[in-house]
Amino acid sequence: MRKEMLKESFKTALPIMAGYVVLGIPCGILCATAGMDVWMVVLMCALFYSGAGQYMIPNMYLAGNPLGAIIASVSLVNTRQMLYGASLSQFCGTCRKRLAFFFGATVTDESFGVNLARFINGQWSVASALAVNLFSQSAWLLSNVAGALVGSAVSLPTALASFAMTALFICLLCMQKITSANVVAAVSAALGVIVCKLVGLSGPAILVGALIGVGAALAFSLKRGESQDSDIRMGA
């Protein structure tokens, strides 16, 4: 029974693992370019499992950002994990707390979507979902290590390595649903970063831009909600 469960989890995780090979190798190269040893990359993948966050750390370091700005920016980006955990907690009511803890600690964007769909369709356990997470994390870790080994052997231009995170976030932006609020967030964040750069605030530019984007989208959504409520009352 356990063997069948692992086999099904592996089949479920296989598309995620394939994608992580493509993303993990450049991330490992970027980490090596930033001066990280292979053992550091292994620890980061094992203890700090966040694709976007792991791209941000070496990229912001190469760009000369202060430590405080790096920590704050990565923390802000990873707040989405709390939403993932809250959404999946409804399926963890009967499992052991330790199992639920490790399941929540190993959730990523991709495994969240896959596991949520399997939970909704039924016949899916937290143990199976955790196995999907661990298979995915293993592929990410091994790909990062391979990239770090390549990066330590081959000299990569810093400018090219630094663009890896920019390309990743452009990809993530293109995957978002086109809504008015998302457009406001993207444009406001970009303008915020540009203004920070122009006035010499290169260090916190990403963090400030992200906060401006979130704030602008929130204000826009609240304003539009009030307008819609007003229209409904007038129509009534």
DSSP 119-132: HHHS---HHHHHHH
Nearest to 78 by CA among 220, 222, 210, 216: 210
Least confident of 71-75, 87-91, 209-213, 224-228: 224-228
Q: Are 49 and 106 in contact (CB under 8 A)?
A: yes
64-122 pLDDT per residue, tens: 777 887 888 788 777 777 778 888 888 887 778 888 888 888 888 788 888 888 888 87
E strands, the chain, where?
none
Question: Taking the model in full, what pTM does it have?
Answer: 0.70
Mean pLDDT of 31-49: 87
Burial 169-206 (b: 16+ CB within 10 A, else e): eeeeeeeeeeeeeeebbbebbeebbeebeeeeebbbbb
Position 80 scores a pLDDT of 75
Question: What is the rounded distance in angstroms from the CA atom of residue 229 to the CA atom of residue 115?
Answer: 36
Mean pLDDT of the chain: 79
φ, ψ for residue 63, nearest 5 deg: -80, -5
141 falls in which pLDDT band (50, 70, 90)?
Answer: very high
174-197 pLDDT per residue, tens: 666 778 877 888 888 888 878 877
